Amino acid sequence: MQEISIGLLGLGTIGSGVYKLLQEHEEELEFQLGSKLVIKKILINDINKKRMIDGRKIPSKLLTNNPKEIFDNDEIQVVIEVIGGVENAKNYMIKALEAGKSVVTANKDVIAKHGVYLSELATKNSCDLFYEASVAGGIPIIRSLTEGLASDKITRIMGIVNGTTNYILTKMTYDNMSYKDALKQAQDLGFAEPDPTSDVDGLDAARKMVILSSLGFSMPITLSDVYTRGIGKVEKEDISYSDNLGYTIKLVGFADIVKGKVEVSVQPTLLPKDHPLASVNNENNAVYLYGEAVGETMFFGPGAGAMPTATAIVSDVITVGKRLKLDVSGKHMINFKNERTIKSEEEIWAKFYLRLNVKDEVGVLNDITTVFAKEKLSFESVLQKPTKNPKDASLIIVTHKVVLKSYIKALKKLKELETINCIKSSYRVFCD
């Protein structure tokens, strides 16, 4: 096989990165694969727009706005999907697989929702489906989970898998920047999604955790299994009180499995400052894995951006190419070994951070302690700080480890106390 022919769907930031990488690393890629990787057609919306990459014009004969020129082209063996979105992208992937073409995609939205169906369709059509770029951009985390650590039993996956929110929290923590200004910077720097709601609300990270936990625990986790909470309500006070208490607030994807039962969440979490993820700053991503045999491992790097994401895509293309040459396309489907079993609120244990606005008067602590005692909840630390209103005070509490159900009950009872004006914030605190 002299050449592996590619159809590229989309020529935005990532598509342009893929085009550039294929050009710039042409020789190395050919050496690794023993065949040339050649883009035959690129699907774009506006055929009249002049397309330049690094000052060089993309030959117009490569460009088309007719998807048939890719799906009906027998020469094309691999389709790279980088148009984004859900419906169109999914339908294109289906068309490609049904036409016997392997698919490489960066689309976490589609994979988190339709990955199982698409994988089965790929197998049925003797094709491959690879999606390394869908999680944590340039970090080869999917390959690490499914190949590098295939021999181990993974029991915990923790990730900072959204660059936008990590950037915002870093700027709020270290540069005293407001949430709004930090988000604007993240958008200007190009790592936020077109609609940053999915970043800041945690949905983007939740989709990535669906993919990682499904592969890591060999179980078909769905988006509705992921408790998801974004960073929109994190205030500077929480960041600085957490700091006083020895913690850093990060948007953490957390997944663990105990006796076959799984919990998966994405939420602002207080990480002890000596946790390996606590020092992952700016737009960087990192994934921490715990395996029964290997112990702790951590993977760090750029989670977004044209060239890092392109490395993951083109590496997948190399894998597809090698498999085409070996004539084993479609023969690797990852079957889930385990049935989906999710922990209940009685089975999830954690510590919690609470910031209460209380009346600064005798008996407040006693009221809180009484509620806590009923739910077998105890304090790890308590801070009292003044508020603008001299009659009130802020109480900052970190609890000891407690079962989630009891904590939720305690919160409900705290809300009913007359001495408590309001619960300002409540976050999970990482503990082993």
Annotated catalytic residues are: 208
Rounded Cα gap, residues 429 and 135, in angstroms:
24
Q: Least distance in Å: CB of 273 to ligand HSE?
A: 23
Q: Least distance in Å: CB of 191 to ligand HSE?
A: 4
Between 14 and 93, name the residue whose CB sits nearer to ligand HSE.
14
Between 282 and 421, name the residue whose CB sits nearer to ligand HSE.
282
φ, ψ of residue 259 in degrees (nearest 5)? 45, 45
Count of CA atoms in the C-beta half-sphere (13 A) of 401 = 8
In the complex, the residues that contact ligand HSE under the rule CB under 6 A are 137, 162-164, 191-193, 199, 204, 303-304
Between 231 and 368, name the residue whose CB sits nearer to ligand HSE.
231
Q: Least distance in Å: CB of 135 to ligand HSE?
A: 8
Q: Least distance in Å: CB of 78 to ligand HSE?
A: 22
Between 164 and 269, name the residue whose CB sits nearer to ligand HSE.
164
Between 204 and 256, name the residue whose CB sits nearer to ligand HSE.
204
Give the distance, in angstroms, between the CA of residue 37 and the centroid of all CA atoms in the same chain. Answer: 29
Q: Least distance in Å: CB of 297 to ligand HSE?
A: 21
What b-and-e string marks burial along 311-345, b requiring 16 or more CB atoms within 10 Å of the CB?
bbbbbbbbbbbebbeeeebbeeeeeeeeeeebbee
What is 234-258 written as a DSSP string? --HHHHHHHHHTTEEEEEEEEEEEE
Between 239 and 286, name the residue whose CB sits nearer to ligand HSE.
286
Amino acid (1-letter code) at residue 211: I
Rounded Cα gap, residues 84 and 263, in angstroms:
28
Rounded Cα gap, residues 136 and 162, in angstroms:
8
Q: Least distance in Å: CB of 192 to ligand HSE?
A: 5
Rounded Cα gap, residues 267 and 428, in angstroms:
8
Q: 161 exposed, middle or buried (CB, 10 Å; 0-12, 13-18, 19+)?
A: buried
Rounded Cα gap, residues 344 and 225, in angstroms:
11
